[in-house]
Structure 1
Amino acid sequence: MIARAAAFLLLLYALGFVMFAFTLGKPAKASAAQTDAAVVLTGGSGRIEHAVDVLREGKVRRVLVAGADPAVTKADLGRRLNGGRRLLQCCVDLGSESVDTRSNAEEASRWLARHRFGSVRLITSDWHMRRAEYEFRKVLSSKYRIVPDAVRSEPSFLTLFGEYNKYVLRRLAVWADL
Structure 2
Amino acid sequence: MTETIKELFAYLKNPILEEDANTNFSYRIKKFGFLLIICLATGFIISPLFVLIEELGFVDMQEHAMEDLMKKLSKPVIFVFAALIAPVFEELIFRAPLTAFKKKNQFRIAFYVFAILFGFVHITNFELTTNVLILSPILVLPQTLVGGYFGFIRVRFGLLWSIALHGSYNAILMLVSFSSY
Q: Under a length normalisation based on structure 1, what TM-score does the superposition of the two structures give?
A: 0.29
Q: Higher strand share goes to which structure?
A: 1
- Which has the higher Rg, Structure 1 or Structure 2? 1
Q: Under a length normalisation based on structure 2, what TM-score does the superposition of the two structures give?
A: 0.29
Q: Higher helix share goes to which structure?
A: 2
